[in-house]
Structures are given as structure tokens and as C-alpha cells.
Amino acid sequence: MRRELLALVITGVFLLSFLGSASAFSLRELGEAIQQKYQEIKQKYLNASNFYQEVRQKWLQARETYQQIKNETNREEALEWARKVAGAGINITITYLEKVIAKVNATTALTEEQRSAIISELQLRIEWLRNRTQEIPQANLSEISNITHKIRNYWQNHRVAVKRHVGKILSVKINWLIQKIENLTERAEAKIEELKANGTNTSELEALLDDLNEKLDLAKEKYEAAKEKFENITTLEEANQLFREGRDFIREAHQYLVQAFQQFKQLVKEIKEVLAG
Amino acid sequence: MKKAVFLAGILLLAVWLSGCVQQQPPSAPSITPGNVTAPSNVTAGNVSAELLSPEEAEAIEALLNETQSLAEELEEPQVDWNISVE
């Protein structure tokens, strides 16, 4: 009876572990699919950007021609390119928002709640822009001018939030790196302590470790400064400047992290050499 | 009958254990300072992997590369909304 029970328990554990493995595998596949989706949208954005630049040139030429000779043919030509450039402008803005959504989805360092809140907000902007697209084909030159004026005002009001979200993505990624490298450093520190307890001279290793910790502290300092800048993006007037400043702090934090990780790898190499004797 | 059930259980356990070994996801293992216990027979050969596994190195390097250009990548498009013939 006890053996039957044991076999039953083992079978149960086996089945549960199989389900666990299957779900871990699905999660991995899901992660790859999300990254793939981002790459696709990135390409789509690049295409939209190139198309916008081409169409804008044609529009500027058509407008100039019409301004020089105001006849019906030139007006029709200008109208055609005005519709196209307005459509291309909306399209690139929508694709940009889709790219941010894809990046938010691929940022596992954000909580599920944070991801959902940002995505819902950005989807509302996309929806609003899509509705404007539908107004373009029937619009005349004056109406197109009104529609795009409305879009410009709308975008000016909402790009503040978009910048704040992009800042958030950058911050959480840098923070993830800080945490990871910090944890690795703690591991190395434990190993050095162990060597020291065994009577090994660890002064060179400790010097390397100190240097590494200094880089990590600087990265943290820059990360905190960047986070503060991004969180303070609340008005249109300050949005660009605060974003630029935050981005510069992120760049500095990134540089310190690159150096810290290189030093960590060097530390591992030297610990290995000490052990090899 | 009992013996057969017992043997089947042992067989399933063996399959399960081999499955666990093979089906580890490639993502970086969670790193906590507490999970490093130095084995008594530490060798230079296994210390590298113990301090930094290839998966961890790959994950960190990938994110360092990604964050290097991410701010530029997520820069908003410059659209001229002034579409007027006047």
C-alpha cells in the first residue's frame, strides 16, 4: 500500500514538473516572439520614416509649383501630395507609438501593471490618430490644413507623456543592469572572503573589487539623476530639456556599467588565476 | 501488481529527473548573493562558471548593447504638420 502510494506521489510530481517545464518553455517562446515583434515594428518604422521623407519632398515641390502658378492642375497636384504627406505623417506617428508599445512589451523589468497602463494610454493616442487618417481622403486643401493643425496640437499635448514613458523604459533597463552586476559583485566578494579565510593574499583582488564598486556607485548615482529628470517631465516647455538631461545621465550610467562589467570579468579571471596557483 | 506499480514509479522518477536536466530554460538564473555556496573542492576550472555563467554574461551583454542606442531608437519622429499652401 505504501509503495503504491509512493508510486502515485512520484507520478503526480512527474506530471506537475512536466507542466512546469512546458510553461517555462512557452514563456521562453513568448519572450522570443515579443522580441521578434519589436524587430518587425522597428523595420516598419524605418520604412514609414523613409516614405514620409520622400513624400514630403514631393509635397514641398508641388506646393512651390502651385504658389508660383495658381492654376487648377497645380492645385490638384498640390492637393494630392498634401493628402499623401498628411497620411504619411500620421502613419509615422502611429508606427512610432507602436514601436514604443512593442518596447514596453519587451521590457520585463516593468511590472505587468505598469506595462498595461502605458500600453492602454498609447493605444488611445493611436486610435485618435487613426480616426484622423479617415478624414484625409475627402478633405480639400483648407481642411487638410485644419486637420494637421489639430493633430499638431494633440501631439504637443501628449508627447510629454510619451517622453516620460520612454524615460521609464530607459531607467528600468539601467536599473536591471545595476542590480545584476551588483549581485555578481557580491558573489565575487564572497569568493574573495573565502580565499582570504584560507590564507590567500587577496589584496590585488580586493583593489579590483573596490574599483568595480566605485563604478557601480557612479552608475547608481547617474541612474537616480536620470530617473528624477524623467519623472519631472510634466510640461511641454520642459519636456525636451528634461528628456535630454535624463538621456545624458542614462548614457553616463551605461558607460560606468560597461566599465564595471569589464572589471567584473577581469576579477573573475584573476580569481581563477589565484586558484590555479 | 504492487511491484509493477513501484517499478513504474521509479521509471517515471528517472524520466522526470533526466527531463529536468535537459529542459532548463536558457534564461539567466536568478542571482542572489545567498545562493553561492563555495564547494570545498574549488578549482580554477569551475570558478568562472560559478561566478558568471555564460547565460548571465550573454544576458548582461545583450542588455548593455540594447541600452547603448535605445534613447536614439525611441526618439520621436519629426513631422512637419504645417500643411498649407498659404
| Cβ atoms of A79 and A67 closer than 8 Å | no
Angle subtended by helix axes A141-197 and A112-135, to nearest 10: 160
User: Which of these, A210, A187, A271, lies nearest to B33 by C-alpha position?
Assistant: A187
Residue A257 located in a structural domain: yes
Among all chains, which residue has been given the C-alpha cell 480616426? A131
How is A92-161 classified by DSSP, letter by letter?
Answer: HHHHHHHHHHHHHHH-TTS-HHHHHHHHHHHHHHHHHHHHHHHHTTT--HHHHHHHHHHHHHHHHHHHHH
Q: How many domains does chain A have?
A: 2
Q: Which domain holds residue A48?
A: 29-139
Is A39 in the same domain as A135?
A: yes
User: Phi and psi at residue B75, in whole multiples of 5°?
Assistant: -65, 135
* Domain final residue, candidates A78, A111, A139: A139
Residue A153 located in a structural domain: no
* Domain final residue, candidates A139, A160, A193: A139
Is A117 in the same domain as A181?
A: no
Given the cut 0.85, state whether the ipTM is greater than it.
Answer: no
- Cβ within 8 Å of A, B 3-62: 3, 5-6, 8-10, 12-13, 15-16, 19-20, 23, 25-28, 31-33, 36, 38, 42-44, 47-48, 50-52, 56-57, 59-61
Residue A178 has pLDDT above 60, yes or no: yes
**A144 to B83: CB separation less than 8 angstroms, yes or no:** yes
Q: pLDDT tens, B4-22?
A: 666 666 655 555 554 444 4
Residue A21 located in a structural domain: no
**A3 to B6: CB separation less than 8 angstroms, yes or no:** yes
Is A150 an interface residue toward B (CB < 8 Å)?
A: no
Calculate Rg over the CA atoms of chain B. 26
**B77 to A162: CB separation less than 8 angstroms, yes or no:** no
User: Which of these, A134, A149, A144, A141, lies nearest to A78 by C-alpha position?
Assistant: A141
User: Which of these, A161, A169, A39, A174, lies nearest to A114 by C-alpha position?
Assistant: A169
Q: pLDDT tens, B32-59?
A: 333 333 333 445 656 677 899 999 999 9
Residue A34 located in a structural domain: yes
Among all chains, which residue has been given the C-alpha cell 530607459? A170
**A92 to B77: CB separation less than 8 angstroms, yes or no:** yes
Is A163 an interface residue toward B (CB < 8 Å)?
A: yes
Angle at CA of residue B69, ends B68 and B72, nearest 5°: 140
Residue A7 located in a structural domain: no
Residue A6 located in a structural domain: no
Q: pLDDT tens, A96-140?
A: 999 999 999 999 899 999 999 999 999 999 999 999 999 999 999
Residue A3 located in a structural domain: no
**B63 to A159: CB separation less than 8 angstroms, yes or no:** no
How far is the C-alpha of A248 from the C-alpha of A225, rounded, in Å? 10
Residue A133 located in a structural domain: yes
Q: Look at residue B7 in the predicted model and tell me its pLDDT.
A: 64
Is A146 an interface residue toward B (CB < 8 Å)?
A: no
- Measured between beta carbons, the chain A residues lying within 8 angstroms of B82 are 148, 152
| Cβ atoms of A110 and A131 closer than 8 Å | no
